[in-house]
């Protein structure tokens, strides 16, 4: 049996079959653990904080999870087939240089979400250890650097541990909730509002769609013959069950707390579970949950930054030193933002990050339509690294559909950072994600179907006869690279 090193050595390069491992169940535990966390609780609570009742908020959140989870899991199913992280496949739809536009924006999103999570994790660590909030944030940042440097296997290990810890913590919290409070009375207070219902749907759907830019990063090491159908359901179930459990608890917590919830989220959630040892264990669960998801964000940011850098430099991968520097720089920015934004700034910055989600919904629509409906899983993987190759520097069809997809969402966006002119007519509901999925998908499909020039006859992979060589495929020069498909076919 081959012993695999704990620390990962690959970045955005193709994972050969000899290095593939794991089962779809690892996807279930990863996404279950990543969603059993306090930020998901806060997101669910917003449905009530912003005016919804308990029952219809729960129904709306569940519908949004299932719909957004489909988009998210379809991305995850690409990993075993391609053996690549998520965002590099954008070069098929946008070109090697054109893909840098969504890549820059996705890096901002990772940093923003991580900063918000670092504040909550810092509070939990401070309560658990007696440190100051500042020391809690810095300690948390150090843990994120270490876990991200170790990479894929450690990330999945965190997911497995957090899935167990999270299930136990939430089982305990729900039990205390049922024993100490009249949940039936909360469910009985019903006042259906279409706008508030759509808000709940949008909150959870956006939560799921936000995972799209990096979900395949964590499935790309699965063996190539892993069923895409099985991978889809493992990712979907883990993410939907985890996030719905967290958001359901958030709805009940906000309904019980009223105005006491905002600004004291971590302390209030823990207070529902008791004090003493129980409180300490809950603070530990909160910190571990944020470590899991923030590591996902940092790792995804490295993948995106490496994709940008290699596109500009004409390389297939980045060095270990560059990877380390990227991780440290990203986490340092996150820590700085978290420390600067522990009070008023972070709220405004979070609104800006939610606004950025409008830039990823059309990306997701275009990527999925291309992969499943236009190219039908037939990518030329070596050509993804060559701006002179099949996919070129720019893809006008993808870029135009993307820009239009972003623009048509603007009238329907409702965030603290920006509110579109049609939001009031919809009672304050944000339906931008629906428009952002449908319009660019239709436009790109119509444009891309007119030409099949960017689609080979079958999936083209790097020749894996080099897998035992001292110099890996990722380090080979671009010029003169020989590639074959699974059956030895050269690209068209």
Task: Write b or e for each residue in 249-267: b if 16 or more Cβ atoms lie within 10 A of its Cβ, otherwise e.
Answer: bbbbbbbbbeeebeeebbe
Domains and CATH numbers, the chain: 26-453 (1.10.4160.10)
Higher pLDDT, 36 or 451: 36
Q: Which residues pair with 380 in a beta bridge?
A: 460
Helix (H, G, I), strand (E, B) or coil at 360: coil
What is the DSSP track for 436-484? Answer: HHHHHHHHHHHHHTT--TT--SS-BEE-GGGTTSSS-GGGS-STT--EE
Q: List all residues 6 or more positions away from 247 whose beta carbon is below 8 Å from its beta carbon.
A: 40, 41, 43, 44, 45, 47, 61, 65, 203, 204, 207
Q: List, for residues 108-151, the tens digit of each pLDDT value.
A: 888 888 888 888 888 888 888 888 888 999 999 999 999 999 98
Judging by beta carbons within 10 Å of its beta carbon (0-12, 13-18, 19+), is residue 337 exposed, middle or buried? buried
Q: List all residues 6 or more positions away from 464 whose beta carbon is below 8 Å from its beta carbon.
A: 16, 17, 18
* Half-sphere exposure of residue 95: CA atoms within 13 angstroms, side-chain side: 16
Helix (H, G, I), strand (E, B) or coil at 418: coil
Q: What is the percentage of the chain residues whose pLDDT exceeds 90?
A: 41
Residue with tokens 């989870």: 69
Alpha-carbon gap, residue 47 to 80, rounded angstroms: 36
Q: List, for residues 66-105, the tens digit of each pLDDT value.
A: 999 999 999 999 999 999 999 999 999 999 999 998 888 8
Do 228 and 77 meet the contact criterion of CB atoms below 8 Å apart?
yes
Alpha-carbon gap, residue 84 to 76, rounded angstroms: 11
Its pTM stands at 0.87
Q: What is the dihedral of CA 160, 163, 165, 166, to 10 degrees?
A: 160
Do 242 and 36 meet the contact criterion of CB atoms below 8 Å apart?
yes
> In this structure, what DSSP letter does residue 181 have?
S
Q: List, for residues 247-305, the tens digit of each pLDDT value.
A: 999 999 888 877 666 666 677 777 777 777 888 888 888 889 999 999 999 999 888 88
Q: List, for residues 167-225, the tens digit of each pLDDT value.
A: 999 999 999 888 888 888 888 888 888 888 988 998 899 899 989 999 999 999 999 99
Q: Which residues pair with 352 in a beta bridge?
A: none
Judging by beta carbons within 10 Å of its beta carbon (0-12, 13-18, 19+), is residue 314 exposed, middle or buried? middle
Q: By 3-state DSSP, what share of the chain in percent is helix, strand and coil, each rounded to 5?
A: 70, 0, 30
CA-closest candidate to residue 90, choices 296, 371, 446, 357: 371
* Half-sphere exposure of residue 65: CA atoms within 13 angstroms, side-chain side: 26
Query: Residue 362 is encoded by which pair of tokens?
Result: 């059309």
Q: Which residues pair with 219 in a beta bridge?
A: none
């Amino acid at each position: 049996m081959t012993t695999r090193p704990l620390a990962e050595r690959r970045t955005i390069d193709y994972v050969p079959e000899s290095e593939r491992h794991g089962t779809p169940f690892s996807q279930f535990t990863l996404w279950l653990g990543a969603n059993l966390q306090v930020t998901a609780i806060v997101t669910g609570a917003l449905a009530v904080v912003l005016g919804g009742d308990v029952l219809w908020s729960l129904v709306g959140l569940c519908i949004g999870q299932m719909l957004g989870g489909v988009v998210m899991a379809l991305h995850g199913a690409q990993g075993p087939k391609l053996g690549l992280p998520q965002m590099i496949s954008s070069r098929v739809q946008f070109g090697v240089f054109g893909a840098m536009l969504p890549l820059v924006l996705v890096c901002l999103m990772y940093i923003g979400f991580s900063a918000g999570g670092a504040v909550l994790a810092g509070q939990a660590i401070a309560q658990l250890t007696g440190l100051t909030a500042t020391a809690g944030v810095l300690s948390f940042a150090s843990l994120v650097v270490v876990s991200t440097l170790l990479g894929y296997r450690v990330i999945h290990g965190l997911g497995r541990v957090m899935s167990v810890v999270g299930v136990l913590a939430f089982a305990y919290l729900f039990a205390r909730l049922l024993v100490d409070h009249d949940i039936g009375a909360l469910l009985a207070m019903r006042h259906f509002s279409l706008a508030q219902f759509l808000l709940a749907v949008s909150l959870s759907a956006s939560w799921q769609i936000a995972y799209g830019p990096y979900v395949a990063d964590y499935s790309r090491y699965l063996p190539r013959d892993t069923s895409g159908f099985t991978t889809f359901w493992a990712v979907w179930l883990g993410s939907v069950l985890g996030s719905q459990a967290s958001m359901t608890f958030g709805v009940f917590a906000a309904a019980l707390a009223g105005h006491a919830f905002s600004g004291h989220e971590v302390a209030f959630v823990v207070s529902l579970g008791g004090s003493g040892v129980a409180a300490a264990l809950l603070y530990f669960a909160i910190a571990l949950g944020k470590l899991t998801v923030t590591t996902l964000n940092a790792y995804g940011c490295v993948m995106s930054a490496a994709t940008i850098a290699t596109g500009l430099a004409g390389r297939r991968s980045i060095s270990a030193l560059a990877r380390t520097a990227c991780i440290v720089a990203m986490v340092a920015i996150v820590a700085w933002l978290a420390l600067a934004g522990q009070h008023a700034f972070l709220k405004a910055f979070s609104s800006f990050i939610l606004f950025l989600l409008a830039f990823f919904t059309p990306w997701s629509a275009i990527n999925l339509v291309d992969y499943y409906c236009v190219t039908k899983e037939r990518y030329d993987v070596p050509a993804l690294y060559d701006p002179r190759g099949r996919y070129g520097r720019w893809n006008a069809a993808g870029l135009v559909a993307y820009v239009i997809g972003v623009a048509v969402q603007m009238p329907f966006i409702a965030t603290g950072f920006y509110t579109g002119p049609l939001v009031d007519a919809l009672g304050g509901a944000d339906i931008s994600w629906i428009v952002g999925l449908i319009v660019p998908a239709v436009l790109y499909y119509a444009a891309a179907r007119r030409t099949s020039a960017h689609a080979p006859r079958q999936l083209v992979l790097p020749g894996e006869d080099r897998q035992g060589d001292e110099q890996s495929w990722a380090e080979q020069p671009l010029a003169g690279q020989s590639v074959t498909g699974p059956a030895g076919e050269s690209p068209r």
